[in-house]
A and B are shown apart, each in its own frame.
Chain A
Amino acid sequence: AQSVTQPDIHITVSEGASLELRCNYSYGATPYLFWYVQSPGQGLQLLLKYFSGDTLVQGIKGFEAEFKRSQSSFNLRKPSVHWSDAAEYFCAVGGVGQAGTALIFGKGTTLSVSS
């Protein structure tokens, strides 16, 4: 079945440490890939997107993600986490199946930042 998997429900990282959030998708073709962030009580904000081309994409707030076709992955990274990065992060795919241009989301990963 078509799906987006975020294996980690909750991650805690020390402030200043590096971060990697995992995302895997299961679609036949390469979908369009996104990472969104949701702060408590807020809507979703786009961090970055991948359509084609360079497999390492840069986003806002110092985040980057790398698309690896062989692993069907699109992991999100940040070299040094700040306390304000504590939020819920969603990986999403678009342009697949009957959903058309709608986004299919993973279950999300909650990031906590410890001091």
Chain B
Amino acid sequence: DSGVTQTPKHLITATGQRVTLRCSPRSGDLSVYWYQQSLDQGLQFLIQYYNGEERAKGNILERFSAQQFPDLHSELNLSSLELGDSALYFCASSVGGGDPRNTEAFFGQGTRLTVV
């Protein structure tokens, strides 16, 4: 058990809909990362939050957004969903901070999103 909790585990929704994925980081971790894993793109970094503030952006679509709340849990919002958004979405957490060695991340079990 990594200590990172993601809900829900599975989600099936229709095209055009909006969903919210939730992540609780490990106790004490300030950074939360979101990744998308798909067969064609592999594991791609989407976005990072550190202590409530956006820290870095990867290949995140404009239809996607995220936030980190004062209790450090994070939500990833996916809107206007398309078939191609079907993927496994991982949340990871790390201690964070300015030291790049704080890249050691612990991953949740993922949320499998199926868009039909």
Residues of A participating in the B interface, judged by any CB pair closer than 8 Å:
32, 34, 36, 42-46, 49, 51, 90, 94-95, 98-108
What are 9 sample pairs from A and B whose C-beta atoms fall under 8 A apart?
A34-B104, A42-B109, A44-B107, A46-B106, A90-B43, A94-B104, A94-B105, A101-B31, A102-B45
- The list of the 4 closest CB pairs from A to B, nearest first, reads A94-B103, A95-B100, A105-B43, A43-B107
- Residues of B with C-beta under 8 A to A103: 33, 35, 45, 92, 103, 105
B90→A43 contact, CB < 8 A: yes
Nearest A residue to B101 via CB reads A51
Residue from B58, B90, B102, B105 with most neighbouring chain A CB atoms (10 Å): B105
Residues 54-103 of B contacting A (Cβ, < 8 Å):
55-58, 90, 92, 94, 96, 100-103
Give Cα A81–Cα B44 distance, bound, in whole angstroms: 29
Given contacts A43-B90, A43-B110, A108-B42, contact A102 B104 (CB under 8 A): no
Looking at the assembled complex, report how far the CB atom of B23 sits from the nearest CB atom of chain A, in whole angstroms.
11
Nearest A residue to B55 via CB reads A100
At the interface, is chain B mostly helix, strand, loop or mixed?
Answer: strand
- Residues of B with C-beta under 8 A to A106: 42
Residues of B participating in the A interface, judged by any CB pair closer than 8 Å:
2, 4, 31, 33, 35, 42-45, 48, 55-58, 90, 92, 94, 96, 100-110
Given contacts A43-B107, A43-B109, A99-B58, contact A105 B42 (CB under 8 A): yes
- Residues of B with C-beta under 8 A to A45: 2, 107
Give Cα A102–Cα B49 distance, bound, in whole angstroms: 10
A34→B43 contact, CB < 8 A: no
Q: A43-B110, A103-B105 are in contact. List 11 more A-B contacts (CB 8 A).
A: A43-B108, A46-B105, A51-B101, A94-B103, A94-B104, A99-B45, A101-B100, A102-B103, A103-B45, A103-B92, A105-B44
Give Cα A45–Cα B102 distance, bound, in whole angstroms: 16
Given contacts A101-B48, A102-B58, A103-B45, contact A95 B104 (CB under 8 A): no
